[in-house]
A and B are shown apart, each in its own frame.
Chain A
């Protein structure tokens, strides 16, 4: 897709979603759409490290919760506007990603995955034992009823998440078509060959972990205002990691569009199941879809589409 086409489609998509927010009066729509958009950010962030670079991160919940708890701390100290919380959450989670990169990027494969999982557990243990942010009993955040210009506060959160989804997709697409993106792909394909071709693999992996972590933290920053009650069980919920991994795998990890398709598909199905059947089904749906795609389309929906396109050509 050419640059101009991408930006036109992105603008149309954002405009449609924005227009919907002006027409729809039911607040539940915003609750549900916020979650889907949040998963677009999380899945896109995961894909920068997992899809482009080939390093599978199981510690998504750790980065996400780091952003959320940064907001709790700042809310208690000062109560800045949400864009500031997002920025700080992104910086903190990005730094965690950078440190994780330094500590773990000399290992790869399943060992790297285990290390990221361990990192999430370490952060969770720290938060559970930190009284200032509510510890294991959790913390209440009273959000304002109204937001300036927008009206309903949940609409405001939804619009913020919409902007973040657009930003994260734009970042992922820019990376994909840049020298950095090519470099990350060489790391995924063969690190030794990459180094022998002059690619500074360690530096690129650190950029990837930092950027991926920062976007996850940014996605988590508005969470306390969304849920209004945050405890470690909800902040570090297994579903964040499972969804952030499953969505790119189902959509396709080779390009920016994959996580978006996966997040829209899985997120919408989960929201539908939550309303019509039960939210307890959500993980079951992810599991069933993952098994289906691993068997039928191991390269995701985009991979399937690519195969069909090649056959026609």
Chain B
């Protein structure tokens, strides 16, 4: 018993001295930029800045930090400061989990949760897209009682509520995404280019073809798909565009429209399955309504028509004022500073909860010894 208490006190000491490791299991996108992965990197970067030992954990060791002739690396699409963060891989046997450590697994990887359920560390789910919650989760299995993941970090209260409905015994923590400062309005007037981000590339093709068929008069208007661009360039293109289009039914937080609003580029978007928190407002009676910070529709069918109508208004300098005003009002809600404060608060809380957990275990051991 004394031996066990000595070990627990070692764990306590590591936790209190900031020697705990935070391993973020991350999909290797092979240089393809995605907002979800960028957000994980942001957590690791901020935790590192806050003095924690945070690592990107890949399954394989062939992840690419710097670009080569075969494509981009993390440095190219996200920035050099992200490539220089600590990266470890399971394959390279760099993962040595101690009880003082934290492992953070994205919601989609239920199989990985199953594999690590016996690890002695603290286990946390990072859920950015609740639509993927059940992708690999066997029927009847729970993150909590089956795999030992009792804490879930997510990006909005809407998602936290959704998760709570399915895993009532899980504790949810909200860390909104942040929009980097380089998402800002262009210094030049907007140009007649439409920036498009659709989860399914086929939606982009369908929308574009449909639009040109319905509005041959506007065949000179260019659609630019931003998928795959380095994030800085992505922001630059978005800020130059006079309109943005977004179709992503599975969106969790819905980063792209918020980025567009920061660039003061009006957006036409399909309302996703889970209505993002920045898209709606709840009045004092509890009634929820959509904000006018974009042009929202519940079907992709009328998007070409909405684009056509918007172009006409834009060419006449007659864009709907209430949309532009509401869009500008929505700016500044998700800054890097706010996210950093939230990361410090949430991970600090997780750490103190873990300390309390261990201290309680120590006390119980001591009581049993008596």
A binds B: no
Chain A residues in contact with chain B, CB under 8 A? none
